[in-house]
A and B are shown apart, each in its own frame.
Chain A
């Protein structure tokens, strides 16, 4: 019962925290009294019954606890009073019973560019996904004490440098929203293809990222890139069960059992792709989601619309030139026009410093050399990829390839 109730509070906690942070301008105080209010609810509600408006009950309880705390600590109160006046000036107060959803402010605060990049994801998980510090630590494979230090550091910066709890105005939004989306997507990619360690996927983290994107989509229903990001994550996540073998080994897209793909997520993601690409110029997440949708809707590798995928990569490169995208485009060209054409493109990128230690680049080259029957070169490239691979399943996969190649090579 207790755990169930706590799960219900995960999202409620984010709302509560956002409203309190905005009211008192202090994330520490907000966290403390939000937790106390939830604890009080866990004691009272099972006895007295759930109040008619649980959100308002929590808010009232938390606010009362904050006032108590401020009465005890006058110096702190004096400092906060200044902040509070400014916060009150910044926006209209809450109206009626409905707890205003102020999580959008908190999203922008937690992913503020003035915070260290590595702290933004941690803080967002802590404050908006409602994860505990040990959970956030586990998510990023960092000891709890280290994670606690990072979160304290980030909160101290918010408070001492006074990073505001506010939604950027319409003129700033195009500059700031990509930062919020980047934080959510980095949580997702961290969970999806763990960059290091023994496990290939940390699905919980990917699901937390999707949950965050769903909240953000409700808060910003008209922002097409929010729809694009949610679509992209759903369309990738739809393949989760096919991506690893029963022994935890890596299964690449070409070899995946497509009947294991999650059709509901694909349908939801595809609808969102449409939303993200209509009504104005496309953004990078929308285009990447469209590419993912083409993969997800194809019956097999041969039946994939590679021409359309190449065209979408062209759009993506025009929007945001990057050698990493060039690698993916070259792989798509290899499928459309043959391995030779793809390899020529990859070789043209060999001078890129950013690709020198980029494992997917080396792997893509190895695969094309293999397809062209240039076996000694393929072997050398797979060995290079093996040295660069970050996870154990990735390394196992490459060892299998190398073993298969050794069988093909005349000795």
Chain B
């Protein structure tokens, strides 16, 4: 079963990285999870200042907004999609991920399965 681990950054330090997490922690975790053979895909996102929001109103008018967005409380910093037998295993990986520390959090969501897909 596939789960997406959505990594929400906690407090950011001055350079925009998650507080309390060293790059080495991420490298160690990434190596471990890749070697376990459970990763389907994963990406780390660039800083929120580089983000742009697009909305299309009912009348078809397009609004483009520059990030960061004032109302955004949790900043999505990246994700892993993993294929593991059940939720407990997915939660285990989420707890190992450095993104769950230092005020950050990880949402673990099953990837929807469609019949015949």
Contact = CB atoms under 8 A, between A and B. Distances in A.
B91 interface: yes
Interface residues of B, number: 8
A263 B87 CA distance: 45
Interface in A160-176: 160-164, 166, 168
Contacts of A300: none
A284 B86 CA distance: 31
A8 interface: no
Contacts, number: 24
Interface in B1-36: 1
A75 B115 contact: yes
A114 interface: yes
B115 A162 contact: no
Contacts of A162: 1, 85-87, 110
Contacts of A32: none
Interface in B74-117: 85-88, 91, 110, 115
Contacts of A166: 86, 88
B85 A86 contact: yes
Contacts of A160: 110
Specify the main secondary structure of chain A where it touches its partner: loop
B87 A163 contact: yes
Contacts of A163: 86-88
Given A160-B110, A161-B110, A162-B1, A114 B87 contact: yes
A114 B110 contact: no
A161 B115 contact: no
B110 A164 contact: no
Contacts of A114: 87, 91
Contacts of B91: 114
B110 to A, nearest CB: 5
Contacts of B110: 160-162
A164 B110 CA distance: 13
A179 B109 CA distance: 22
6 contacts: A114-B91, A161-B87, A163-B86, A164-B87, A166-B86, A168-B88
Given A160-B110, A162-B85, A162-B87, 7 more contacts: A86-B85, A112-B87, A114-B87, A161-B87, A164-B85, A164-B88, A166-B86
